[in-house]
Amino acid sequence: MTRRVAPEWFPRTTAEFGTAATATLLVIATVLGSRVSLAWFVVPALLLVALVAAASLVWPRQMLMVVVLSPIFDRYLVPGLLTPDAEKIAHLMSEVLLAAVGLVLVAQSARRGTLRAGLAHPLLPLLGVFVLASFTSALINGVPATQAIAGIVFTIDAVALFVLARIVRFRVGDGLTAIGAFVGLLIVAGVVAIAQALLSPHILGLTALIGRFGEPFRLASFFGDPNVFAAFLSAAIPILLFGASGLRTPRGRRLALAAAALLLLSLWLSYSRGGWLGAVGGFVIAALLLDRRALRIGLAVGVFAFVVALIMPRNLLDPSLNVQRPDLLQSTVGRASTIGSGKDLRTLLIANAVPIVVDHPLLGVGPGRYGGAAASIFGTPIYRQYGTDLLLKDPNQRTVDNFWLHLLVESGIIGILAFVAMVGSAVLPIVRRAREAGWGRRVALAGIVGAVLCLVVNSLSTMLLEANSVAYLFWFLLGLGSVLAGQPGSEAQTS
């Protein structure tokens, strides 16, 4: 009988436990310190960054996953515990962590002579083409330097995680554990969302948005935004469905199936039509390419979760909220009717963008000039010239909620083709290797393909790939997949 050994990621030594304990104390110190002054918040926060950066010298894979998941904490979990001023600074923590850990890992890789191999991927020359096209567009269109740089950085800064994942060189078992850490966090979030539906949307002090199409509550767990919650769910669900089809043991497959059902139920409860579209569209494409059995499993589990969402009891702790019971079918038909009648904002923005693209077809209007956070921060004459500002009247509507539309208008045909080629250069080798790999590598690679395609499709209705909370995961998964796809050797021995 083979003795099971604790995975490399599990703290086993005094140093590992000490580092984890110190990090936990520093997190508590930042929260409590914010109640005293900004200095008492900033100092332990910087010490936490320094600790994670130093720990990446010893445990690079674990600390890289801390960076990948950090936007979930600094944007959704921790800010509610902070003062308003500290909350604004907390949003920068994930970027600071990425810079600190990235510098350490690059320096360590250069010292060991492995940096060149990590950089040897066709995605990076294509990234150069995209950046060159963006700068050329900025010069032609007279975009102010600060705005142009912000527009480019907001779009591509998370690509650093693609490189870092390649530098760290995950093995198959490490890759499965890294993916499992993300999925585990989403399972916890899914349980919370279902508790919101069963007991009360305000349980644990959480909030829920009121929908515009007959949904009294759009549930989002601790993410706050149901569209962001649905985006993460849409990335986790394919991983579990491919696991339910391809894991080696019946027990592993059953656990993956149960977790997939839980997350699909949470996805329906979010009422995020973009999340639904991303989860269904991306997974169907991936399953048709890699595993038809997973497609059948996904259809069955999806229908089951949908029925449960329709008939499950609601708001048991506050029955008065059941006056208007949410109807998944009615709300979806209502949204479709809005689109069909030409009143949907996303549809109007696409129509509004057509003349802009016609006038600036090849290189666009310039980085930071349309649709994204940079255009909102710095302002843009494009909105006034083409009447886009008449559509973006809501102060809470800061973007066009369509990453690909934003990219096309800002970067033109050349820029968007370069960006699509970047993603394709990473995805296609992963697909090819997944078709021939053994069970451990196959589940990891198929799950990565499914997650990436779901986020690509979902980005048609959100700015996911500009927002680092999701872009971090997207580019990390591509980097992880490129490493696992390029490795020879045996498969993982865990299920």
Quote the CA–CA distance of 465 and 469 in Å, as a whole number: 9
Residue 217 has a pLDDT of 73
Quote the CA–CA distance of 240 and 7 in Å, as a whole number: 20
Residue 210 has a pLDDT of 59
Identify whether the C-beta of residue 301 lies closer than 8 Å to the C-beta of residue 261. Answer: yes
Give domain status of residue 354, yes or no.
no
Residue 331 has a pLDDT of 57
Give domain status of residue 491, yes or no.
no
Digit-by-digit pLDDT tens for the chain (495 residues) are 444 444 444 555 788 888 889 999 999 999 898 888 888 899 999 999 999 999 999 999 999 999 999 998 888 888 778 888 888 888 888 999 999 999 999 999 999 888 988 899 999 999 999 999 999 999 999 999 999 999 999 999 999 999 999 999 888 888 989 999 999 999 999 999 999 989 888 887 777 665 554 556 788 888 888 999 999 999 999 999 999 999 989 999 999 999 999 999 999 999 888 899 999 999 999 999 999 999 999 999 999 999 999 888 888 887 766 555 555 555 555 454 444 445 678 889 999 999 999 999 999 999 999 999 999 999 999 999 999 998 888 777 788 989 999 999 999 999 999 999 999 999 999 999 999 888 788 999 999 999 999 999 999 988 989 877 899 999 999 999 999 998 775 554 443
Residue 495 has a pLDDT of 39
CA 172 vs CA 225, 474, 481: distances in Å: 33, 18, 10
Domain identity same for 70 and 191: no
Domain identity same for 204 and 330: yes
Domain identity same for 422 and 310: yes
Give domain status of residue 63, yes or no.
yes
Residue 398 has a pLDDT of 81
Quote the CA–CA distance of 52 and 494 in Å, as a whole number: 28
Residue 330 has a pLDDT of 58
* Token pair of 395 as six digits: 């102060």
Number of domains present in the structure of the chain: 2
Domain identity same for 448 and 334: yes
Q: What is the three-class DSSP state of 370? A: coil
Give domain status of residue 395, yes or no.
no
Among 98, 113, 128, the domain boundary falls at 113
Among 113, 133, 168, the domain boundary falls at 113
Domain identity same for 102 and 165: no
Domain identity same for 326 and 453: yes
Domain identity same for 73 and 200: no
Report which residue type is found at 181. A
* Ramachandran sector of residue 4 (left: φ over 0; alpha: ψ -120 to 50; beta: rest): beta
Quote the CA–CA distance of 61 and 83 in Å, as a whole number: 32
Backbone angles phi, psi at 171, to 5 degrees: -85, 175
Give domain status of residue 408, yes or no.
yes
Domain identity same for 171 and 106: no
Domain identity same for 74 and 186: no
Closest of 428, 403, 407, 426 to residue 416, by C-alpha: 407
Give domain status of residue 352, yes or no.
no
Residue 432 has a pLDDT of 94
Residues 6 or more apart from 103 whose CB is under 8 A from it? Answer: 53
Give domain status of residue 221, yes or no.
yes
Residue 1 has a pLDDT of 41
* Token pair of 232 as six digits: 């993460």
Domain identity same for 167 and 277: yes
Q: At what angle do helices 250-270 and 292-311 cross, to 10 degrees?
A: 50
Residue 406 has a pLDDT of 96
Domain identity same for 162 and 287: yes
Domain identity same for 247 and 323: yes
Quote the CA–CA distance of 400 and 467 in Å, as a whole number: 13
* Token pair of 254 as six digits: 């059953």
Q: How many residues does the chain have?
A: 495
Give domain status of residue 145, yes or no.
no
Quote the CA–CA distance of 186 and 38 in Å, as a whole number: 31
Residue 124, classified by CB atoms within 10 Å of its CB into exposed (0-12), middle (13-18) or buried (19+), is middle
Quote the domain boundaries for residue 18.
14-113
Among 113, 128, 147, the domain boundary falls at 113
* Token pair of 428 as six digits: 């296609």
Residue 285 has a pLDDT of 96
Residues 6 or more apart from 276 whose CB is under 8 A from it? Answer: 230, 267, 268
